Structure 1
Amino acid sequence: MTGKQLRNSILQWAIQGKLVPQDPNDEPASVLLERIREEKAHLVKEKKIKRDKNESIIYRGEDNSYYEKMPDGTVRCIDFEIPFEIPDSWVWCRVSNIFILNPKNNNEDDDMAAFIPMEMINACYGSSYTYKEVKWKSIKNGYTHFSDGDIAFAKITPCFQNRKSAVFENLPNGIGAGTTELKVLRPYVNTVNPYYLLFFLETPYFVEEASFKGTANQQRIISGYLEGKLFPLPPKAEQDRIVKQVQQLLPLTDKYESAFEANLRQQDSINTLLRKSILQEAIQGKLVPQLESEGTAEELLAEIAEEKKRLVKDGKLKKSALTASRIFRGDDNRYYEQIGSQILDISSEIT
């Protein structure tokens, strides 16, 4: 298992409720979901957000199937959409129903803010970025807005697959703007741990199932993929435990990856040496046993010499091909090469 495969497994376990144990004392996610709906209604009343015309309710029926109640009251079975089982204390919901998507900032022009182009967001598991400090008026138009606590990810390839994503924190005046190739999500107050959402956005479930549209070099996730994605919502206390566990494990996966790659390099070196050793054993006559019934190499050389004479006679080889050297071992145990009447000591060439 590579380091990337291990990280993917950890994050996938996290969103399936398999990374930390469930605590029966936790407030269930159904209560948390109700609080999100109340907060949404409050913000709609204050005209801070628009009413969600696509808000649905997902529940499990008495027949153990999953159903989704739509805003018009219709109900449909969505068993075919459910990607995996989650603990009983968790709930499924659509991303667009529990997060504010692509929020806007409303600040004074002279307020200092963070400017974050794509190259300042690091490709990694977790959150890592830098920023330039500029006046808000220079970036408030033509860029994607975000604030402290918001979560963003790159919607364009290959940045999306490379997991360019971040939880924004400690920005100047708590605000910023950046590349238009970002999707930004804002949790409702104290309902979803920003890092739990970040880890969800970095899972194979979210990244590897995405569909794209556009030219070969500039493909973006299709419209509606994020909004309609099913989100496994745990109790808030369990979210916090998951985040703590993942943050402890990710640095260990870096060490694992270094050791894994070092082992691969060592294995490659061993394999190379092994191949060389086998070939060397082969040409030294040490790989298989010798059998007297197979004859000797001297007899084979004699056959070759006769064949060469025949080919010269048939005009298929030049006569010069008959001029060959003969290598032999002398009574003194040294090796000699005879070329015509000349005999040379070649012991130094024999390895």
Structure 2
Amino acid sequence: MDKEIFLTEFGHLAQGPDGVKKLRDLILQLAVQGKLVGQDSDDEPASVLLEKIEAEKKNLIAKGVFKKSRQKPKEISPLFLIPKSWKWISMAETGHEWGQEKPSQDFLYIDVSVIDNVLGKVGSNVPLITPEDAPSRARKLVKPGTVIYSTVRPYLKNIAVIEQEYSPKPIASTAFAVIAPFSGIDATFIKHYLRSPDFVGHVESQMMGMAYPAINDSKFFASPFPLPPLAEQKRIVAKVDELMALCDELEASQETNVTLKRDCVASTLHHLSEASDKDEIKSNWSIAENNFGKWFDDLETVKNLRATILQLAVQGKLVEQDPNDEPASVLLEKVKAEGICAKNKYQSSNQQVDAQLPRGWARTELGNLISIRSGDGLTKANMELGSIPVFGGNGITGYHSSSNVIEPTLVIGRVGFYCGSVHITPAQAWVTDNAFITTFSEYCFDIEFLYWLLRTTNLKERDSATAQPVISGKKVYPIIVTVPPKGEQKRIVAKVNQLMTLCDELEAQILSSQTLNQSLMASLCHHMTVN
């Protein structure tokens, strides 16, 4: 398969999440099934190669390099169809081990931790260990050209070829299955096969254990291996190397493009949130709106867009101010008179500070807007069958037959990992003691505006530094916030909801595109590996 054709056919499908990884897997799958390079009738077939390997094996046994296996060969179950010039053999027939020894002098210890499982190589951080400090698993001998395969958590693909001479000599962990390939079997081809989706799937069906899933050596060496002619092995390895290098280029190009785009978006959003001049805000927002489809085409940039929308909302930069709106300072005086907030001590900020706020806005402590109290305890065991949602630290945790709030209520997570999360209940709900029930002046404040305002304050940053995160009124009430007039609150809510709906649509399009790419990739993989 020509590399340009390959990239033309599959490069665009690698744009989604893990797209290049899927492309790499496809390359390996095509390679080990004999579909990446053509067969050559002049190649010496695998059947003849096996005869030579058998002669070599007898010679090595006679020299005492390894012992003849006493186990009878098991019947091999092919994993897929292979070309006629290939042969299915067992992994045990691909090579031999170099034996084991207990270290008696300083050695280089090759453990799973030194394997680069992305590149499939032994890293440069191989530790030098004395016999006294040798782990009990340091036993297996390896030499250049040896393939090592971690049988513990094999899905991590800690697989490599020993590519160099080491001094002092290396010893590998017993966590590895070791293969010193016979003449006529390419070590890198073996590595590619062991990393291929077909073999990974086979091993996963053979694994045992929960905490440390593993395949034992006997099952590993009994696994099927597709043996091509040696010349074809070499062509396959060369083609895989070539295409993997192209994948590296494609991945680097994608990362560069994503970084540039995100930097551009971040810069625009930053200028948008930092702008103070109305004309500048309109200009920057117009640029962002005109490029929604181009800029916000991944979940990360949409997430940043949501954050910027909320930031603009609480800065008074999302909608126009109306001089006819009743100022927030008047609202705060009315709240103080009502006496329902946590603190009745609103004081106007000095004129210099207020001058920095949009017209009609005021700056105050959160305790001058709201009052919070814990909900009522309700365990799962005590929930009675019903349709009324139960709100805990992170929204709905179940359903109950009765309620402890009878109108839409602002709820703040009080304890646990999700403390500080904010939700609005329906008209009837039960709020547990893992959350706060929030009360406020409904005449002065819009519940949805307070919801978005609290979302921007990142209440979780106010949790106590304990094993079980928790927030309290003592932490929440002193938070400084800015408040717009009631009329502007409603306009802000309408605009935020409109833009959040747009963000929802953008995310849906992104997920739909990703799903389509994944389906196309899966379909093409199936077509090319089955047909």
Decide: shared fold, TM above 0.5.
Answer: yes
Deviates more, 1:250-259 or 1:28-37: 250-259
Write the deviation string for residues 62-107 of structure 1: whole angstroms up to 9, x where unpaired. xxxxxxxx7xxxxx7x6xx222111111111111123214x22689
Q: What letter is aligned with 1:209?
A: H
Alpha-carbon distance in 2 for matches of 1:183, 1:87: 28
Q: CA deviation at 1:173?
A: 5.0
Indicate the residue corresponding to 1:289 in structure 2. none
Alpha-carbon distance in 2 for matches of 1:136, 1:18: 48
Superposition pairs of residues 226-241 of structure 1, within 5 angstroms: 226-241=220-235
Indicate the residue corresponding to 2:127 in structure 1. 132
Secondary structure, counterpart of 1:184 in structure 2: strand
Write the deviation string for residues 245-275 of structure 1: whole angstroms up to 9, x where unpaired. 1112212223333455656975126756999
Indicate the residue corresponding to 1:122 in structure 2. 116
Secondary structure, counterpart of 2:190 in structure 1: helix
- 1:145–1:177 Cα contact (<8 Å) kept: yes
Q: CA deviation at 1:178?
A: 2.7
Secondary structure, counterpart of 2:188 in structure 1: helix
Higher helix share: 2
Indicate the residue corresponding to 1:24 in structure 2. 41
2:186 is equivalent to residue 193 of structure 1: yes
Count of residues paired in the alignment: 267
Alpha-carbon distance in 1 for matches of 2:145, 2:135: 18
Q: What letter is aligned with 1:15?
A: V
Q: What letter is aligned with 1:119?
A: S
2:161 is equivalent to residue 167 of structure 1: yes
- 2:122–2:162 Cα contact (<8 Å) kept: no
2:84 is equivalent to residue 88 of structure 1: yes
Secondary structure, counterpart of 1:19 in structure 2: coil
Indicate the residue corresponding to 1:146 in structure 2. 142
Alpha-carbon distance in 2 for matches of 1:219, 1:28: 37
2:211 is equivalent to residue 217 of structure 1: yes
Secondary structure, counterpart of 1:196 in structure 2: helix
Q: CA deviation at 1:49?
A: 2.1
Alpha-carbon distance in 1 for matches of 2:111, 2:135: 14
Q: CA deviation at 1:232?
A: 0.5
1:135–1:22: structure 2 CA closer, same or farther, 3 Å change rule?
Answer: farther
Structure 2 stretches lacking a partner, 5+ long? 1-13, 263-294, 308-317, 320-406, 408-440, 446-484, 493-531
- 1:94–1:228 Cα contact (<8 Å) kept: yes
- 1:3–1:257 Cα contact (<8 Å) kept: yes
Q: What letter is aligned with 1:201?
A: L
Alpha-carbon distance in 2 for matches of 1:18, 1:194: 20
Write the deviation string for residues 145-188 of structure 1: whole angstroms up to 9, x where unpaired. 2111100021112xx22211111022225941132211111111
Alpha-carbon distance in 1 for matches of 2:208, 2:243: 35
- 1:55–1:97 Cα contact (<8 Å) kept: no
Q: CA deviation at 1:208?
A: 2.1
Q: What letter is aligned with 1:49?
A: F
Secondary structure, counterpart of 1:88 in structure 2: coil
Secondary structure, counterpart of 1:186 in structure 2: strand
Indicate the residue corresponding to 1:303 in structure 2. none
- 2:66–2:99 Cα contact (<8 Å) kept: no
Q: What letter is aligned with 1:42?
A: N
Q: What is the alpha-carbon root mean square deviation over aligned residues?
A: 4.1
2:50 is equivalent to residue 33 of structure 1: yes
Secondary structure, counterpart of 1:213 in structure 2: coil
Secondary structure, counterpart of 2:116 in structure 1: coil
Q: Match for 2:251 among 257, 264, 275?
A: 257
1:139–1:192: structure 2 CA closer, same or farther, 3 Å change rule?
Answer: farther
Higher strand share: 1
1:127–1:205: structure 2 CA closer, same or farther, 3 Å change rule?
Answer: same
Alpha-carbon distance in 1 for matches of 2:131, 2:233: 34
Superposition pairs of residues 281-320 of structure 1, within 5 angstroms: none
Secondary structure, counterpart of 2:59 in structure 1: helix
Structure 1 residue ranges (4+ consecutive) displaced by more than 4 angstroms after TM superposition = 105-110, 133-142, 258-266, 269-276, 320-324
Alpha-carbon distance in 2 for matches of 1:204, 1:323: 61
Give the structure-1-normalised TM-score.
Answer: 0.63
1:243–1:119: structure 2 CA closer, same or farther, 3 Å change rule?
Answer: same
Alpha-carbon distance in 1 for matches of 2:123, 2:443: 75
Write the deviation string for residues 93-143 of structure 1: whole angstroms up to 9, x where unpaired. 111123214x22689966x75322222111214324222356789759741
1:4–1:192: structure 2 CA closer, same or farther, 3 Å change rule?
Answer: same
Indicate the residue corresponding to 2:238 in structure 1. 244
Q: What letter is aligned with 2:186?
A: N
Alpha-carbon distance in 2 for matches of 1:192, 1:141: 32
Indicate the residue corresponding to 2:93 in structure 1. 97
Q: Match for 1:155 among 143, 148, 151?
A: 151
1:174–1:244: structure 2 CA closer, same or farther, 3 Å change rule?
Answer: farther
Indicate the residue corresponding to 2:195 in structure 1. 202
Indicate the residue corresponding to 1:63 in structure 2. none
Q: Which has the higher contact order (CA 8 A, sep 6+)?
A: 1
Indicate the residue corresponding to 2:395 in structure 1. none
Alpha-carbon distance in 2 for matches of 1:13, 1:274: 41
Q: What letter is aligned with 1:248?
A: E
Equivalent pairs: percent with the same residue? Answer: 28
2:4 is equivalent to residue 11 of structure 1: no
Alpha-carbon distance in 1 for matches of 2:443, 2:132: 91
Alpha-carbon distance in 2 for matches of 1:39, 1:141: 33
Alpha-carbon distance in 2 for matches of 1:244, 1:321: 72
Q: What letter is aligned with 1:25?
A: D
1:21–1:55: structure 2 CA closer, same or farther, 3 Å change rule?
Answer: farther
- 1:105–1:175 Cα contact (<8 Å) kept: no
Alpha-carbon distance in 2 for matches of 1:127, 1:223: 21
Give the structure-2-normalised TM-score.
Answer: 0.43
Secondary structure, counterpart of 1:232 in structure 2: strand
